[in-house]
Chain A
């Protein structure tokens, strides 16, 4: 073991046999690191205020007709928040469903197919919702 790769002593008697470079990269054995875990948390944090805003907004517009609903969704702030909600929701959704598949589908091709199909569906649904909001935002007067 060279000078660049000194074992890290964390407590008496325990030596971590992992290189400093490996620690810095932080990608672990799967070479994917904590990206999935972090993204799930970051989207969750974003969804906390967005959800509160959305529930309050929906409650304030119950029974509204299409015109007033479209006008509401078309206002810049509402459209921006709706787009943020859509992006965070579908990102969080495919990350969460992926973990469910990874836990319960044990045949790898089937599992990967389910994950890919879900990611594709989430992307398309998110785009569809985003296009609808953008249309309302652009056409609003």
Chain B
């Protein structure tokens, strides 16, 4: 027992031999179930939206400050980096939105069966994709026209 922490997983088998009990494998061992992807995405999009909130603050402060600061925000948003951030922000918003609603449904005690967990995740991913494309299409058409 080189590590004191091993004490918690050392046991005797039916032949009274000391054995290491099986432990839960680490993250790298798993085939990624779709539910794991969904969970990680919910957290990742939450962090992304936190960063995106800075854009909301900047935008509001600029609108309250005058035409020049506002034009600076508009200019940034229309730049390639700004558009990329906005795309990420939109997709994150919709994923976190639909995923969050699913969390509320879970909290009410519904949809926790394994089969439901799997297909609902695909529905949420599809809804995220559809809503993102729809918003950008509407946005593109309203600016282009």
Contact = CB atoms under 8 A, between A and B. Distances in A.
B37 interface: no
Contacts, number: 78
25 contacts: A41-B104, A41-B107, A44-B103, A44-B104, A48-B100, A55-B135, A59-B139, A59-B142, A62-B142, A62-B143, A65-B70, A66-B71, A69-B70, A70-B64, A73-B60, A73-B63, A89-B53, A97-B46, A97-B47, A129-B57, A129-B61, A131-B64, A132-B63, A132-B64, A135-B64
Interface residues of B, number: 31
A47 B135 CA distance: 18
B53 A44 contact: no
Contacts of A63: 142-143
A40 B46 CA distance: 12
Interface of B: 43, 46-47, 49-50, 53-54, 56-57, 60-67, 70-71, 93, 97, 100-101, 103-104, 107, 135, 138-139, 142-143
B71 A55 contact: no
Contact of A93 (B50, B60, B70, B139): B50
A48 B101 contact: yes
A93 B53 contact: yes
Interface in A68-109: 69-70, 73, 82, 86, 89-90, 93, 96-97, 100
Nearest to B70: A66
- State the majority secondary structure of interface residues on A: helix
Interface string A44-68: 1101100100010001101101110
A51 B71 CA distance: 24
